């Protein structure tokens, strides 16, 4: 039996991070979770399929190499988990202050 309207398609597929979640418990170790998806491009149609979640606990003494997000090449620099935590905290505080500045005062 032959498949109805069967065709040969061409395309490409890759994995990417689609969501980053920070877990910042009041008591305990902060962690970051990266949710991945598999993107498939077939004959101009883009298909998304969620695949996996990676979790990394913050290790304030730990570090990681920085990569160029366009080329994936190492930049030769690194960042500590503590520096990332400070950067995320600072971005949160700035964003909250911007929101608060737009809210009407009671």
Do 95 and 64 sit in the same domain of this protein?
A: yes
Same domain as 52, residue 64: no
Q: Report the alpha-carbon distance of residue 105 to residue 50 in Å, rounded.
A: 42
Residues 63 and 106 in one domain: yes
Give the CA distances from residue 49 to residues 43, 52, 55, in Å, rounded to whole numbers and listed in that order: 17, 10, 19
Q: How far apart are CA 52 and CA 31, in angstroms?
A: 16
Average pLDDT, the chain: 94
Interval 61-76: pLDDT, tens: 999 999 999 999 999 9
pLDDT at 2: 80
Start-end of H helices in the chain: 81-102
Confidence (pLDDT) at 5: 84
Per the domain annotation, does 1 fall within a domain? no
| Domain that includes residue 85, residue range | 59-106
- pLDDT the model gives residue 44: 87
Q: Give yes or no for residue 1 having a pLDDT over 90.
A: no
Question: Is there a domain that residue 44 lies in?
Answer: yes
Q: Which residue has the tokens 């990394």?
A: 56
Whole-Å CA distances, 58 to 66, 81, 92, 94:
16, 6, 17, 22
Model confidence at 104: pLDDT above 80: no
Burial class (CB in 10 A: 0-12, 13-18, 19+), 72: exposed
pLDDT tens for each residue of 76-103: 999 999 999 999 999 999 999 999 999 7
Q: What is the pTM of this model?
A: 0.81
Residues 90 and 52 in one domain: no
């Amino acid at each position: 039996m032959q498949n109805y309207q069967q065709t040969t398609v061409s395309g490409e597929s890759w994995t990417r991070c689609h969501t980053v979640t920070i877990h910042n418990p009041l008591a305990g170790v902060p962690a970051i979770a990266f949710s991945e998806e598999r993107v498939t491009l077939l004959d101009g149609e883009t298909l998304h399929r969620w695949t996996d979640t990676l979790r990394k606990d913050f290790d304030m003494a730990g570090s990681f190499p920085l990569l160029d997000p366009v080329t994936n090449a190492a930049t030769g620099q690194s960042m500590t988990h503590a520096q990332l935590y400070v950067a995320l905290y600072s971005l949160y505080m700035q964003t909250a202050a911007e929101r608060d500045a737009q809210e009407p005062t009671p």
